[in-house]
Amino acid sequence: MTTTSYKMNRLSIAHLLLTTIIAGILIGSCKKNDPPGNNQVSFYSSDVLDKWMTMQLRLMKNATGIPNQAFSRHYVYAGIAAVESVAPGLPAHSNWYRNWNGLTGLPASHHSVNYYYPANVNGAMAFINKALFPNATNADKLAIDSLEAALNEGFLATKSQALIARSSEYGKAVAAAVFNWSESDGYKNAGNPYTPPVGAGLWKPTPLAFANAVSPYWGNNRTVINGSIDNIQPGAPVTYSTHSNSAFYQMVKQVYDVSLTLTNDQMAMAMFWRDVPGVTSPGHWLSILQQVIRQNNTRLDKAVLAYALIGAAINDGLISCWKTKYHYNVVRPITYIREIMGYPSWNSYIGTPAHPEYSSGHAALSGAAAAAFEKLFGNIGSFTDHTYDYLGFAPRTYTSFAAIAEEAAKSRLYGGIHYQPSLDAGLSEGRKVTANIFSKIK
C-alpha cells in the first residue's frame, strides 16, 4: 500500500466515524422524549386548557335553545372531565375529586402509568364538548375536531404516537363517564309543564315577551357535590304589600327611582353583565377564570382544579337559587311598577328574564364563583375584565373577586329587574354554597 493510499484510507475511516457520530447525535436529538410514568400534572403549562376554554366560550356564545342558567352544566362537567382526566398525575393525597355526587364508571388508572397530560386534557375536552353541545353548528363541530387534531399534531413533534394515543383515549374514557353521569342530573325534567300559582304578589309572565316560566324544576337537579346546598336557602322575602308606606312598596320604588336617574356608568354596568346576548352568565365567569389563569401563569394542575370547583360552585349555586325562586314565586319589578304603582308604559333597562324574582340568579352564581376564586387564588389585587371587548364594551377593573360579584349583582338593580334584598340574598346564598363545597374537600 502506498503512503498516499494509506492516508486516504485513514481519512475515509475518520470521515465514516465522524459521520456515524453526527448521525447518532442527530438521531438521539430527534428521539421522542416521552415523560416517565411518575410525571406530575404540575410539570405542564395550562396552554391546552386555555385553548379549550376559548372553544367552550365560542360554543356557549353560539348555542341556541339553552336557558342561560343551564350553561352552568357545560361549565362544570367540562371542568370535571378535565380534572379527572389528569387524576393519575395529581398527588396521591388529593382526594377532593372523590366528592363528585354519584360519579361512577371512571376508567382504572395508576400513578405509575405513563401519560402526557396535555393530551389527556385534549381528548377529554374534545369529547365532553361535543357531547354537551350536540346541536352545535357544523362549523363549531368542525372547529372542535380541528382543535383536537391540531393540538395532537403539536404533541407528536416531541412525543410518541403510542403515548399520545394512550393519553387521549384515557381522557375520552373519563369524559364519557362524566357525560353519562351528567345525563341523569335531572336537567331533562327541568322544563316540564308548569302552571305558576296565582295570587297577589306572585310572579307571572312579564313584558315584553310574556314567556312561560323558564326551567321551573331546575331546583330539583342533582348537585355535583353532595350536600352543597344543605341549609343555605335564604329566608322569606319582604312581605308583599301594595301600601305606599310598606317595605315592599318602597323596595320596588327604589328600582323605579333608580331607573329615572341612571348614569352612564350604571347603564354600562347593566349591559356589561347582561350576558345574553353574549357568552352567557356562567360563561362570563369562565372567561374571568381564563383571564385569571393567564394573569397568574397558572400551571395545569391548578387550572383544571379551578375549572371544576368554580364550575361546581356556580352549578350548585344556581340549583339552590332556582329552588328558592320557585318556592317563593316573587313578582318582578316590571309587573308591580306597571300594575300597582301606576306606570303602565314603564320598561326595565334590560329585558326581564322569565322566572321569579327572588333570589337573584346573577347574585347567587357570582357570589358562589367569587368565593371559590378567593379560596383558590387568594386576593387578586387588581383585575381588568376583558370579556366583552369583542362587543365593543369598555373593560371593567376590580380590586377583588368579591367586588366583581357585588358589581354583577348590582347591575341587575340598574337593569331594572331585581330588588336590592334579592341581590343581597343571592350573594349570601352563593357564598354559602361555596363554603359547603370547600368544607367537603379539605
Closest CA to 317 of 401, 185, 439, 433: 433
The residue from 160, 187, 214 where one domain ends is 187
* Together in a domain, 432 and 342: yes
265 and 352 belong to one structural domain: yes
Cα–Cα distance measured from residue 258 to residue 215, given in angstroms and rounded to the nearest whole number: 29
Identify whether residues 162 and 270 lie together within a single domain.
no
Q: Tell me if 181 is assigned to some domain.
A: yes
Do residues 78 and 207 share a domain?
A: no
User: Is pLDDT of 39 > 50?
Assistant: yes
* Shared domain check, 307 and 176: no
Looking at the fold, whether 162 and 200 belong to one and the same domain comes out as no
pLDDT for position 239: 99
Q: Are residues 273 and 145 in the same domain?
A: no
Same domain, 375 and 409: yes
- Rounded distance, CA 22 to CA 378, Å? 52
Is there a single domain that holds both residue 213 and residue 130?
A: no
Residue 425 lies in a domain: yes
Does the structure show a pLDDT above 90 at 246?
yes
Whether 2 has a pLDDT exceeding 50, the answer reads no
Taking each helix axis from N to C end, the angle separating 47-62 and 117-132, rounded to the nearest 10 degrees, works out to 10
pLDDT, tens digit, 9 for 90 and up, residues 403-412? 999 999 999 9
**What would the mean pLDDT of 136-147 be, rounded to a whole number?**
99
Question: Quick one: pLDDT band at residue 13, thresholds 50, 70, 90?
Answer: very low
What is the span of the domain harbouring residue 92?
A: 41-187
* Domain of residue 377, CATH code: 1.10.606.20
pLDDT(21) > 80:
no
* Model confidence pLDDT, tens digit, residues 253-281: 999 999 999 999 999 999 999 999 999 99
Which residue among 187, 221, 240 closes a domain?
Answer: 187
> CA 5 to CA 2: how far, in whole Å?
5
The DSSP secondary-structure symbol of 100 reads: B
| Model confidence pLDDT, tens digit, residues 63-75 | 999 999 999 999 9
Number of structural domains the chain divides into: 2
Q: Is the pLDDT of residue 83 over 70?
A: yes
Is residue 91, in this structure, part of any structural domain at all?
yes
Which whole number is the average pLDDT over 323-327?
99
Query: In this structure, are 199 and 183 located in the same domain?
Result: no
Is the confidence at residue 4, as pLDDT, over 90? no
Alpha helices in 205-299 (DSSP H): 247-260, 264-272, 281-296
Residue 33 inside a domain? The answer is: no
Note whether 178 and 251 are same-domain residues.
no
Is 254 contained in some domain? yes
DSSP reduced 3-state for 330: strand
On the question of pLDDT at 393 being above 90, the answer is: yes
296 and 432 part of one domain? yes
pLDDT band at 349, cuts 50/70/90? very high
pTM (predicted TM-score) = 0.92
Q: Is the pLDDT of residue 17 over 50?
A: no
Would residue 233 count as lying in a domain?
yes
Assess if residue 156 is contained within a domain: yes
| Share above pLDDT 90 across residues of the chain, in percent, rounded to a whole number | 86
Q: What is the mean pLDDT of residues 394-399?
A: 98
